[in-house]
Amino acid sequence: MKVYKTEQIRNISLTGNAGSGKTTLAEAMLFEGGVINRRGEVTAKNTVSDHNYIEQEYGNSVLSTLLYTESNGTKINVLDTPGMDDLCGGVVSSLNVTDLALMVVNTTNGVESGTVAAGRYAETVNIPMMFVFNQLDHDNSNFDATLEQCKATFGNKVTIVQYPVDAGPEFSAIIDVLKMKMYKYGPNGGKPEVLEIPDSEKDRAEELHNELVEMAAENEESLMELYFDKGSLSEDEMRKGMKMGMLQRDLYPVFCTCAKKNIGVGRLMEFIVNIAPTPVERPMRPVASGREMKMEESADPSLFVFKTAVESHVGEITYFKVMSGKIKEGLDLINTKTGNKERLSQVFVSAGKNRDKVEELVAGDLGCTVKLKETKFNQTLTTKDADTQYEPIKFPASKHTVAVKAVNESDDEKVGEILNKIKFEDPTYVIEYSKELKQLLVHGQGEYHLNVLKWYFDNVHKIDVNYIQPKIPYRETITKFAQADYRHKKQSGGAGQFGEVHMIIEPYTEGTEPKTIFKFGDKEQKITVRDVQEHALPWGGKLVFVNSIVGGSIDARFLPAILKGIMEKMEEGPLTGSYARDIVVYVYDGKMHPVDSNEISFKLAGRNAFSKAFKNAGAKILEPIYNLEVW
């Protein structure tokens, strides 16, 4: 496998809604670059990208897939990403290690939810973006309507570089307003005939060419001066201005394809080679120490892991971006998180499930290795003395939660082990055992995302699990004050147990001062406030513990035990076992035994006195309130 220099590398992410044709476009790009000699089809389940069993069953991309192709001596690394927003993990991780988001849009459907979501993720990481208007051969394909929708969604930065002559079943020609040529394709696509623009299209092409010239000139002061002087720019000058515009996210070029027929794909790849950003033209990924890094082949080697996967008969595969230096087979590097050494026994370039050994990969390139001992997603490998740990990729918060329970209890431990492995392959799964709900919870991006996980349990691991609606995390509190006392007494031959606690509880509200008197019918209970402790509870709300003991009825050394007993009961509330919150407790009296009193006695007395008082204090259940973000 050829070794490429950094300036000979382009890294792109194929993004867009499910069904827009990303995988078919990737297949055509590999065919154009000579990586494959026959194009597969998604419906035939034989594409290079969708090689995983689940993708073949679902009929769409579920995982991001690393591919590579070549055009004009330049290597193009392609990350084909899923189109369902539930599967956004692959999109986000890919955008973090590539230099161009290629937004594929189905011109029959126009802008869809997946288009908007992918655009938002691209904006978050500030990556240059361009549009590929695909499926222009479909009956209801509408280039102009799709263009207007893209401009309405992404602004006037969306700029035509190509437009179709006749969208629909007869689609076979593209006008390129950068080259000012028409590309005419045969029935099987491939290499086009390059023609002059026909008279019927000259006016529109000239108008769009001038718009593109203006957009290119706006991004570079020297180009603007040339434009004012000459009234036009050369193709090379336009390329320079377009690159500047793309790097600044001020220009989103629009290209036309019918990926299934391989129409427009070769010209698209040519544009990527000539104008798309190179790895060195994009900002370097930040490092935790703040140290300034440069993507140089001559620097110390370092790599950033953006994906891990497991394949049968292979084991764990680690996908990485070379951030600096050169990566070679047999190289020893240090995992900056664990401090342990990892040896790269083999280095590969990847085209789906096919991997080709390579002599070395240089800064900016993407590749993979196998059989690392402990290195996982989002981790850095570098030399021993380098102060380098790249910032981790951040993912959207989870949106959907289920409780997972093995059908057979004997599989409970296996379920936990599998989930812990899967979260490294897809970090958008968040695994949690809720002590409060006593359930194993999986947080995902949506129902589809969680169904994918269920598929793995059923088909890969052969374990039956049920998805259960998580219990509602209620909270308990009180609405009025109440008094209770409790005597804990136990005698069993030797030293016994004795502790008696009298307390009053009342609702806590922010800013409320402890009371000094409570009325219970005709009786009054005066309170002497000796000490106040305010505790912020881990589950929300507060407990205020007021020491009101006078006359030494309870030694101060037993008060922490009473508090502990109260906290234990608040952790498993008296009504439903839910967390209790926002309560003031006054411990004002009690009794001790000179021999039998100890900490356990007062912990139990405090716990039970609190439980009695709680039930008489207008106890109620609070339902959770969630914040919802709609976009």
For strands 497-507 and 9-15, give the pairing.
Answer: unpaired
Same domain, 68 and 171: yes
* CB neighbours of residue 571 within 10 Å: 16
Question: pLDDT-derived band of residue 58, with 50, 70 and 90 as boundaries?
Answer: confident
Band of the pLDDT at 59, cuts 50, 70, 90?
confident
Question: Same structural domain for residues 151 and 182?
Answer: yes
Q: How far apart are CA 599 and CA 77, in angstroms?
A: 67
Mean pLDDT of 71-94: 96
Q: Which range marks the domain in which residue 177 is found?
A: 6-10+12-281
Asked if 438 and 483 count as a contact pair (C-beta separation under 8 A), the reply is no
What is the rounded average pLDDT of the residues 118-134?
A: 98
Q: Are residues 357 and 410 in the same domain?
A: no
Closest CA to 389 of 378, 399, 400: 378
User: What pLDDT does residue 140 have?
Assistant: 94
Residue type, 269: M
Closest among 602, 598, 600, 599 to 590, alpha carbons compared: 602
Of 281, 313, 335, the one marking the end of a domain is 281
Of all residues in the chain, the percent with pLDDT exceeding 90 is: 84
- Examine the domain organization and report whether 480 and 464 are in the same domain: no
Are 460 and 483 within one domain? no
**Of the given ranges (126-140, 301-315, 436-450), which has the lowest mean pLDDT?**
301-315
φ/ψ of residue 298, rounded to 5: -85, -5
CATH code, domain with 254: 3.40.50.300
Residue 608: partners with Cβ closer than 8 Å, 6 or more residues away = 486, 488, 565
Q: Map tokens 């035994």 to a residue.
A: 593
pLDDT (0 to 100) of residue 384: 78
Mean pLDDT of the chain: 94
Encode pLDDT of 144-159 as tens digits: 999 999 999 999 999 9
**Enclosing H/E stretch for 612:** helix 599-615
pLDDT at position 185, please?
97
Residue that is last in its domain, among 382, 417, 437 = 382
Residue 322 has pLDDT above 90, yes or no: yes
Task: Tell me if 146 sits within 8 A of 111, measured CB to CB.
Answer: yes
Q: Order of strands across the sheet with 439-444?
A: 430-434, 439-444, 400-406, 465-468
Domain-embedded: residue 630: no
Question: What is the Cβ-side half-sphere exposure of residue 400, based on CA atoms within 13 angstroms?
Answer: 15
pLDDT of residue 51: 82
Q: What secondary structure does DSSP assign to 235-267, as a single string?
A: HHHHHHHHHHHHHTT--EEEEE-BGGGTBSHHH
The mean per-residue pLDDT over the stretch 599-611 comes to 98
Calculate mean pLDDT across residues 463-469: 96
- Residue 446 within any structural domain of the chain: yes
CATH number where 451 lies? 3.30.70.870
| Cα 611-615-617 angle, rounded to 5 deg | 110
- Band (pLDDT 50/70/90 cuts) for residue 57 is confident
Full DSSP string of 111-145: S-HHHHHHHHHHHHTT--EEEEEE-TTSTT--HHH
159 and 31: one domain? yes
Q: Has residue 292 been placed in a domain?
A: no
Average pLDDT over residues 451-465: 94
Residue at a domain's end among 224, 246, 281: 281
Q: So what's the pLDDT on residue 291?
A: 81
Q: Which residues contact 626 (CB under 8 A, 6 or more apart)?
A: none
pLDDT class of 50 with cuts at 50, 70, 90: confident
Q: Residue 540 sits in a domain of what CATH number?
A: 3.30.230.10
Query: Are 98 and 204 within one domain?
Result: yes
- CATH number, domain of 375, equals 2.40.30.10
Residues in the chain: 631
**Domains in the chain, number:** 4
Whether pTM > 0.85 for this model: the answer is yes
421 and 340 in a common domain: no
The predicted-structure confidence for 409-422, as pLDDT tens digits, reads as follows 999 999 999 998 88
pLDDT in tens, 479-490: 999 999 999 999
Residues 150 and 252 in one domain: yes
Residue 631's pLDDT band, with cuts at 50, 70 and 90, is: low
- Would you say the C-alpha torsion 391, 392, 394, 397 has a positive or negative sign? negative
Mean pLDDT, rounded, for 13-20: 97
Q: 327-375, pLDDT tens digit by residue?
A: 999 999 999 999 999 999 999 999 988 899 999 999 999 999 999 999 9
- 519-574 confidence digits (pLDDT tens): 999 999 999 999 999 999 999 999 999 999 998 999 999 999 999 999 999 999 99
pLDDT class of 206 with cuts at 50, 70, 90? very high
Mean pLDDT, residues 202-218: 94
Q: For 120, left (φ over 0), alpha (ψ -120 to 50), or beta?
A: alpha
